[in-house]
A and B are shown apart, each in its own frame.
Chain A
């Protein structure tokens, strides 16, 4: 029983009770992914599985056998040539004051990457006026689509700014 985390294949935990979040943090010492509420209510634990954003606290690690998981550590490594730098969204969060304490930030950034992919394939949201039309990521659309990620420091405006900045530079693919 194996799982791929940030490009490396590793054995899943023996005990099926271990959540994907606890496996990442306690099993693999990938502390970028945060535990806010442990009950699906905050989004701090957001990671990408086969490119889709999910909550790692609400799922068991064994449910993801054979799947490809990317955490904030994987995003920053993939975003730069040497693997040492920052993902463009991380850079934009710094430039736009997209955080204060930083606790929600890894979840926000993983969520934003998944959100952009959803919009690019035309997935509508609650605020999309016409279900048949192409999706334009207006500020209102980004707010709705990012509503699963809470920020206790109230950095939401900076977060949206950072996402818009990267979208307008079309660095995200």
Chain B
């Protein structure tokens, strides 16, 4: 690990002030950043611990929930209002990492854990445009079982690995950010970006931007929501693919639906094409299959991950079936 300064932020203003210099990074639980620092993939000159900032869950005026970014993943998953009203979020968090890691990880850190792959970690042995821009991508021709099938570029095929983020994409969450120019909000689905020619940049945030909270909008039908994660072992493994969905069915027809995929792209993948195909139509197997096919129409497999295309389609059909559509 390269040397760094360490400071603890007392409040939001303190955090912004402490992180004003170049090469500063905020520190949540450290479960991603400390690991990357040990591998010398991340080399911040100064760390600002933000775990002392807001970690509360409070109701918003519109009937949603505002979640402080320092809240630990375990606490968010077990919060009674989240379990009752946004079960897909509890389920997604509980499907991720291990209990120990969820106890350490913060909401802000989970959002901003690096989009990554094994080649990104291999600072000594592999080329990676995300770690060393312009050096090339060894994953393209390499072991690509875990890599992207949607929205990738010749520069980078890594996937965003968070389970929690897939649920937040489906729920249409809003990110609260405090930066040099003051406070602002942005839709969660616009936080992460596709790799394009600059895969070293994971999100639209500027250096020094602090995530202060995540807001869940009111979404009454999210009481009928679910998360399904498909992985190489039954627990404590990253997703091959995952599906977060909420479904509202009335008289056999889809009144409203929210869908997002994990494990398929450089960002949590909100499936707007599938949602549009389903809305107003029959809530049955043929409609679910057609919607899944429409969303995956542009999927591009690599050497080892072609199976993901069929897998994510089938997982979506199964989840929608579980949520109350009849699967024929």
Contact = CB atoms under 8 A, between A and B. Distances in A.
A124 B77 contact: yes
A54 B6 contact: no
Interface in A37-60: 38-40, 43, 46, 52-55, 58-60
A123 B78 CA distance: 5
A17 B3 contact: yes
Contact of B51 (A58, A63, A114): A63
Nearest to B98: A148
B100 A43 contact: yes
Report, as a range, how many residues of chain A touch the other chain.
35 or more
Contacts of B236: 147-148
Interface in B1-40: 1, 3-6, 8, 27, 29-31, 34-35, 38
Contact of A148 (B35, B94, B99): B99
B78 to A, nearest CB: 4
A2 interface: no
A40 B101 contact: yes
B185 to A, nearest CB: 28
Contacts of B83: 124, 131-132
A163 B6 CA distance: 39
Nearest to A59: B30
Contacts of A121: 78
B100 A126 contact: no
Contacts of B30: 58-60, 63
Given A39-B35, A40-B31, A62 B99 contact: no
B87 A58 contact: no
B47 interface: yes
A121 B77 CA distance: 13
A132 B6 CA distance: 41
Contacts, number: 98
A54 B103 contact: yes
Given A52-B103, A118-B99, A125 B34 contact: no
Nearest to A147: B235
A159 to B, nearest CB: 14
B90 A131 contact: yes
Contacts of B1: 17
Contacts of A147: 98, 234-236
Contacts of A144: 235
B38 A148 contact: no
Nearest to A143: B235
Residue from B6, B98, B100, B104 whose CB has the most chain A CB atoms within 10 Å: B100
Contact of B34 (A19, A145, A149): A19
Contact of A58 (B47, B91, B104, B235): B104
A123 B74 contact: yes
Nearest to A47: B100
Nearest to B93: A126
A41 to B, nearest CB: 8
Interface string A136-166: 0000000111011100000000000000000
Interface of B: 1, 3-6, 8, 27, 29-31, 34-35, 38, 47, 49, 51, 74, 77-78, 83-84, 87, 90-91, 94-95, 97-101, 103-104, 234-236
20 contacts: A19-B34, A52-B74, A53-B99, A54-B103, A54-B104, A55-B104, A58-B31, A58-B101, A111-B99, A114-B100, A121-B78, A123-B77, A124-B77, A124-B94, A126-B235, A131-B90, A143-B235, A144-B235, A148-B97, A149-B98
